[in-house]
């Protein structure tokens, strides 16, 4: 029987995950059925339970359910526990195991595809939602220098810093004070602000000629931040398409025990990037 997988989110209709996993399946010769399932916040648990009852064996979870998904799991991987957010569900005999492949996906894209050396980079993380929680532990593991976290809701930046438990290295700050934080070698936009055309005000002095500026979004949603980064003189301006493909490959490996090659689907999607809608 063909194994069933899904991406669960809201909205999710534009998700590229079904296309990416279908491509990985063809490449590796693994038959799979991977669909997008729309789940408004109040119905996430019911939709996940129905998916399991119908034989679903694995799922990706996207905005806004990554925190909720962590609560629905029987066990969590170490990286999902540290993130407090789950983007990959694996069906086990006793329930769902939760994993988080966002962080390893981002680090692999930055270091292997874009050839960046992340070590000792003074880093600014804008946002403290599910994606920020997923990537922060992996960035620290990859050897970045001090990590400054700002968020529209400051309590969430504080909570993320507390969860990372590295007070000497991780510093939550107020978004309104961003102009006094100095310059950064790595700036990551992990907000969904541009979705409603309200990117926080960023000073050009945040970037220096070595800065890598990364938006976790892709397609139209990434345009305002990357335009700011170019105007600020950042050395590298990178969107989230590579991370998307790499986190999917890591999920695929968790489910199927095989690591797919990612360059071909990345290049195919890149050719159509202007038409892409961030949905994962």
> Which residues does the annotation place in the binding site for shikimate?
15-17, 62, 87, 102, 218, 247
Q: Is 66 noted as a catalytic residue in this protein?
A: yes
Say how many C-beta atoms besides its own lie within 10 A of residue 161's C-beta. 22
Piece of the chain touching ligand NDP by CB under 6 A; list 12-20, 92-100, 111-119, 237-245: 237-245
Give me the catalytic one of 66, 68, 122, 256: 66
CA angle 6, 8, 10 (to 5 degrees): 145
Of residues 92 and 176, the one with the C-beta less far from ligand NDP:
176
Roughly what angle, to the nearest 10 degrees, separates helices 17-28 and 241-256?
A: 50
Does the footprint of ligand NDP cover residue 193 (CB under 6 A)? yes
Q: Which helix (H) or strand (E) holds 25?
A: helix 17-28
Instruction: Give how far the C-alpha of residue 33 lies from the chain's centroid of Cα atoms, to the nearest Å.
Output: 23
Options 128, 149, 188, 206; binder of ligand NDP; rule CB under 6 A: 128
Which segment (22-30, 139-147, 239-247, 269-277) binds ligand NDP by CB under 6 A? 239-247
Identify the residue whose tokens are 């989230």: 240
What DSSP element (H or E) covers 173?
strand 170-174
**Which residue, 88 or 191, is less far from ligand NDP as judged by CB?**
191
Does 63 interact with ligand NDP (rule: CB under 6 A)? Answer: yes
Name the one range near ligand NDP by CB under 6 A: 33-41, 75-83, 91-99, 184-192: 184-192
**CA 51 to CA 4: how far, in whole Å?**
9
Among 225, 231, 236, 233, residue whose Cα is nearest residue 197: 225
Binding site for ligand NDP (CB under 6 A): 63-64, 66, 102, 127-132, 151-153, 156, 190-193, 196, 198, 200, 216-217, 221, 240, 243-244, 247, 278, 280
């Amino acid at each position: 029987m063909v194994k069933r997988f899904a991406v669960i989110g809201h909205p999710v209709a534009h998700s590229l995950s079904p296309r990416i996993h279908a491509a990985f399946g063809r490449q590796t010769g693994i038959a799979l059925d991977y669909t997008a399932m729309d789940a408004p916040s109040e119905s996430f648990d019911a939709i996940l339970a129905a998916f399991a009852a119908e034989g679903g064996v694995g799922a990706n979870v996207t905005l806004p359910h990554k925190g909720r998904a962590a609560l629905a799991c029987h066990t969590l991987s170490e990286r999902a526990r540290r993130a407090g957010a789950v983007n990959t569900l694996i069906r086990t005999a006793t329930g769902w195991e939760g994993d988080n492949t966002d962080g390893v996906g981002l680090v692999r894209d930055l270091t292997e595809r874009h050839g960046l050396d992340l070590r000792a980079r003074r880093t600014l993380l804008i946002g403290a939602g599910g994606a920020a929680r997923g990537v922060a532990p992996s960035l620290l593991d990859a050897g970045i220098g001090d990590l400054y976290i700002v968020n529209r809701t400051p309590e969430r930046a504080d909570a993320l810093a507390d969860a990372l438990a590295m007070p000497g290295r991780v510093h939550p700050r107020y978004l309104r004070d961003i102009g006094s934080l100095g310059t950064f070698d790595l700036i990551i936009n992990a907000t969904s602000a541009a979705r409603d055309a309200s990117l926080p005000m960023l000073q050009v002095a945040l970037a220096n000629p070595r800065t890598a500026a990364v938006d976790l979004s892709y397609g139209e949603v990434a345009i305002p931040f990357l335009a700011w980064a170019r105007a600020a003189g950042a050395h590298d301006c990178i969107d989230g398409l590579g991370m998307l493909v790499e986190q999917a490959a890591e999920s695929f490996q968790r489910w199927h025990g095989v690591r797919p090659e990612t360059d071909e689907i990345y290049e195919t999607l890149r050719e159509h990037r202007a038409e892409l809608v961030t949905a994962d």
